[in-house]
Amino acid sequence: MANALRGLSKCGVAGFLPQVFSRHGPRTLPHLVCQKRNNSTSSKIKVDLDPSTGVAVMWMQSPPVNSLNLDLLTEFTTTLEKLEMDKSCRGVIITSSLPKIFSAGLDILEMYQTSPEHCGEFWKAVQELWLNLYGSKLTTIAAINGSSPAGGCLLSISCDYRVMADNPRYSIGLNETLLGIVAPYWFKDTMVNTVGHRTTELALALGKLYSAPEALKIGLVDELVPEDQVVNTAAQTMGKWLAINEPARQATKAMMRKPTIDKLLSNREADVHNFVSFITQASVQKSLGMYLKMLKSRKG
């Protein structure tokens, strides 16, 4: 289950190479796992894998807003792990099948008025998703076809490249402070690795949600395209990434991301403990409750 970069934490960059080169072995017949998943009625993710290009599209389909609850987090991680193991897959595009929403981020209801045990289980699933996605040896591209706050932004910035719909009404950012909570250090590190320290400092302190044009300006996304071309553009960009020598690209990715990943790997339990003790505080629960109320009142 461990992904390539996690393997690195034990064996260093040299340990990463054999796994990289093993991907050049004989290609297997197209995996059926992904197609099978599509038939599941309870599936929160639809996968289209094209073995001829080696590109899979993961469509999040969990109405109303693709909020990352325990089920979606778990299915996301399992799906990605299966694609990692599938020799016919070399790249993944992550997108949403819901109109106007990429992902509303972590499901607040998983953190509000739930038991410490549940919060701990939930947080482990959040860690697991990030470790798998940020450390994936596949090329990963976020096709952001709607708003993408907080955990949705984390999903996006954990990918190798981001294409967003050119619509100023869609926003993206780590807005945790607006909920009275603090972005964990590995959310912050991922953001720093994307846009730099000072921009992250401002973004996190103010809980800033950037419109798509603003996000492009600060480098939070790489490209804006008309809404109906987001996935196609991601597929074209994927073609360029897949043309790069694969072992070299993978080793470069590992070199860039390993220190950030190792920081959490060496500290996972403490991170769960910190999350649970923070999120269960009465004052934090009160803030989450008020934020949920605000979301509901906006509807009226």
Residues that bind ligand CO8 (CB under 6 A): 64-65, 67, 100-101, 104-109, 147, 149-151, 175-176, 179, 181-182, 184, 275, 278-279, 295-296, 299
Q: Which residue is nearest to ligand CO8 (CB)?
A: 105
What's the Rg (C-alpha) of the chain? 19
Least distance in Å: CB of 288 to ligand CO8?
Answer: 9
Which residue, 112 or 246, has its beta carbon nearer to ligand CO8?
A: 112
Which residue, 290 or 295, has its beta carbon nearer to ligand CO8?
A: 295
Which residue, 108 or 203, has its beta carbon nearer to ligand CO8?
A: 108
Q: What is the dihedral of CA 220, 165, 100, 72, to 10 degrees?
A: -50
Least distance in Å: CB of 26 to ligand CO8?
Answer: 41
Least distance in Å: CB of 41 to ligand CO8?
Answer: 21
Angle at CA of residue 65, ends 180 and 117, nearest 5°: 55
Largest CA distance in the chain: 58
Q: What is the dihedral of CA 280, 284, 289, 290, to 10 degrees?
A: 180
Q: How many helical (H) and strand (E) elements, i.e. helices and strands, does the chain have?
A: 12, 10
Least distance in Å: CB of 203 to ligand CO8?
Answer: 14
Are 261 and 5 in contact by the 8 Å Cβ rule? The answer is yes
Are 291 and 112 in contact by the 8 Å Cβ rule? The answer is no
Which residue, 34 or 192, has its beta carbon nearer to ligand CO8?
A: 192
Least distance in Å: CB of 112 to ligand CO8?
Answer: 8
Q: Is 169 helix (H, G, I), strand (E, B) or coil?
A: coil
Least distance in Å: CB of 281 to ligand CO8?
Answer: 10
Which residue, 128 or 176, has its beta carbon nearer to ligand CO8?
A: 176
| Cβ burial 124-161 (10 Å sphere, 16+ → b, else e) | bbbbbbbbbbbbbbbbbbbbbbbbbbbbbbbbbbbbbb
Catalytically active residues, by annotation:
106, 151, 175-176
Cis check: omega of the bond before 64, within 30 degrees of 0:
yes
Which residue, 178 or 195, has its beta carbon nearer to ligand CO8?
A: 178
Are 97 and 81 in contact by the 8 Å Cβ rule? The answer is no
